[in-house]
Structure 1
Amino acid sequence: MDLPPGCMVSEKQCQKVCKLKKSLYGLKQSPRAWFERFTKSMRAFGYRQSNSDHTLFLKKQHGKITALIVYVDDMVVTGNDPEERKALQNYLSREFEMKDLGPLKYFLGIEVSRSSEGIFLSQRKYALDLLQETGMSGCQPVNTPIKEGLKLCVEPNQVSTDKGRYQRLVGRLMYLAHTRPDLAYALSVVSQYMHNPGEQHMNVVMRILRYLKNAPGKGILFAKNVNHQSIEVYTDADWAGALDDRRSTSGYFTFVGGNLVTWKSKKQNVVARSSVEAEFRAACDIAHNLVQHDRTKHVEMDRFFIKEKLDDKIVELPKIRSEDQLTDILTKAISSQVFSKFLDKLGMCDIYAPT
């Protein structure tokens, strides 16, 4: 390492080196040590570390709440207590060298826009940069990320494709999943063939890029809503949709106050002869078996937990008609008309699109 500025040494010492005793950056232990110190500082100021996400810190007082989330050394602070936010900022400025960048506009590749209607999140710049890098800026756009009725599998004599390029493209596209639930199912499908991609799989990846060209600025609008405590969940599963192993794909959407907050599309770990049969057998076998095994005990706990919430009228399980089942876009490829209708219900829009 170089000598610090202003450090004077004699000619005899100019050939010597400095011994590093402490480093803030460059060592794998440094991030953990810094985060431990940051956590202690936040706790000392009265904040509680979230159990579900250790990078989230919360403080509730006088009916108000303040939240801070940190990623490496970037932080976002929000809440309905302006005095507490200012006090937290002053406290962190004394504890750490930091800079206030003002209202949130850009964080981890996510663009934040505000209006009288609410807050809009998108990754438009990232999508445009990806199209530019892949040479797809001038491609013909499509209305859905995956063709209706398409079924992928590994064929015995399939035409191979560039495995490295396939993996890089899917990896880059996966980052868009933070604000793009419309891509969830398509990305769930193509990510299953990372180690053995064929030409048909690469064609789907190219179609996803063509779909991005159609609406690179599409994102989620968090509308202002006073009923912020209402929670709705849509969940569903197809039946043996995967041709390779006949496993089902399940998905869910979670809404808080009418705004979409979480979603997931994932192939199940086991093969079910039918979705109804799998649930029915699990419930009946456990109910008639007095000896609870470790493999099924968690299912039994979940069943009783849900039953208690139903009995207490905390949770309702209404039947959703097929034409209103939003999770269809997480479990199968559907028509462009249905796809567009469901995206509107999810609160997805493109504020950059011409009107």
Structure 2
Amino acid sequence: MTEEINALLKNHTWSWVPSSPSQNLVGCKWVFRIKRHSNGSIVRYKARLVAKGFHQRPGIDYVETFSPVVKPATIRTVLSLAVSHGWSLRQLEVKNAFLQEDVYTAQPPGFIDPIRPSYVCKLHKALYGLKQAPRPWFHHFSTFLLFVGFIRSQANTSLFIFQQASHTVFLLLYVDDIVVAGSDSTHLQQFISLLGGHFDIKDLSPLIYYLGLQVLHKYGTLHINQLKYAHDLLHKANLLNSKPASTPLAAKVRLSISDGALISNPTEYRELVGSLQYLTLTHPDISFVINTVAQFMSAPRTSHLVASKWILRYIKGTIDLGLTFTPQTAAARLSANSDAD
């Protein structure tokens, strides 16, 4: 908690101001999390100070915001390129992301200023130490990348590419998690140092565990799986001890919008299907069936829930499977197919 408070103060996240009846005071709380390796061992203990956003009113206290989220297909493509060319893969994390609106919060629990106990915290419009910034942090981060020579991919706004002579760097941005792949390890380290001089960056060393992906490097190949993520899904659904299914969907099953009774708690179904969609990053074999069960999100029925849990039973039997990237010696060739309507 002290480390988090010191990081917030270092970045000039807020200033003390007297409380006023005109302020919509947003509460705050500590959220504790244990960050683990893919094998379950502890990486570190994390404490995050978060604002209670439900105290805000849309259109009055905040406007629409945007978080950069890289597409799964882009992640796979960059990993494939990095393996084929033997590039270095590094993982970074940006500390302390905030929005751009004026927000007044209560003082952090356990860290009340003894001199000004009745004051409140006014969050700056600045992010990562950039004072009086009028736009969201992503604007400043992307502007910096463009300034130093990166270009933004037209296919994915969260992918930035740098090319200069024989040096190439790919940067993937998922909210505040970053993966960089570079053709030259020395040049890549120079860029990371440059980035750290302008933003509060934590270098998490070589890419090993990213967004629930376990990344294994072996003999020039790279293997990714979501073993821990899949295990947590099975645990949440109470299916860890279930009998594995041999196919993602039962044979001759045709789901319809009227088959079975409506589910009393549709949120459970939506959360399950949404979680399964993220699993397709390393399990493309379930993409079709996930698309099928996702068509009934508005009014899910018991038959749809049964089909979703069947998919989990299939995952139970294939939990250790993933994607392996091997170096490609032949020139890359892209092909596309279009289904004309």
Fold shared, TM-score > 0.5 on shorter chain = yes
CA contact (8 A) 2:234 2:316 kept: yes
**Segments ≥4 residues shifted beyond 3 Å:** 1-9, 29-32
CA contact (8 A) 2:173 2:179 kept: yes
Deviations 1:166-198 (A, max 9, x none): 222112212212221111011011011112222
Q: Which amino acid aligns with 1:159?
A: A
Q: Which amino acid aligns with 1:193?
A: F
2:184 corresponds to 1:90: no
Q: CA offset at residue 199 of structure 1?
A: 2.2
Structure 1 residue aligned with 2:157: 54
Specify whether residues 93 and 189 from structure 1 end up closer, same or farther in structure 2 by C-alpha distance, changes over 3 A only: same
Q: CA offset at residue 103 of structure 1?
A: 0.7
- Greater Rg, structure 1 or structure 2? 1
Q: State the distance in 1 between where 2:230 and 2:114 align.
A: 51
Aligned counterpart in structure 1 of residue 230 of structure 2, from 124, 127, 133: 127
Structure 1 residue aligned with 2:179: 76
2:241 corresponds to 1:141: no
2:327 corresponds to 1:227: no
Aligned counterpart in structure 2 of residue 109 of structure 1, from 204, 207, 212: 212
2:239 corresponds to 1:100: no
Structure 2 residue aligned with 1:346: none
Q: State the distance in 2 between where 1:206 and 1:117 align.
A: 37
* RMSD over equivalenced CA pairs, Å: 2.9
Find the residue that maps to 2:310 and give its secondary structure.
helix
2:284 corresponds to 1:190: no
Q: State the distance in 2 between where 1:120 and 1:209 align.
A: 22
CA contact (8 A) 2:167 2:187 kept: no
Q: State the distance in 2 between where 1:153 and 1:22 align.
A: 51
- Structure 2 unaligned runs (5+)? 1-105
CA contact (8 A) 1:170 1:190 kept: yes
Q: Which amino acid aligns with 1:20?
A: K
Deviations 1:30-87 (A, max 9, x none): 9962111111211221111212212211111223311111222221110212232011
Higher relative contact order (CA 8 A, sep 6+): 2
2:310 corresponds to 1:207: yes
Structure 1 residue aligned with 2:260: 158
Q: State the distance in 2 between where 1:18 and 1:108 align.
A: 35
Q: CA offset at residue 217 of structure 1?
A: 2.2
- Structure 1 unaligned runs (5+)? 238-278, 283-355
Q: CA offset at residue 159 of structure 1?
A: 2.8
- Hey, which of these two has a bigger chunk of helix by percent? 1
Alignment of 1:214-253 (within 5 A): 214-233=317-336
Q: CA offset at residue 160 of structure 1?
A: 2.9
Give the TM-score taking structure 1 as reference length. Answer: 0.58
Query: Would you say how many aligned residue pairs link Structure 1 and Structure 2?
Result: 230
CA contact (8 A) 1:31 1:72 kept: no
Percentage of matched positions with identical amino acids? 28
CA contact (8 A) 1:127 1:212 kept: yes
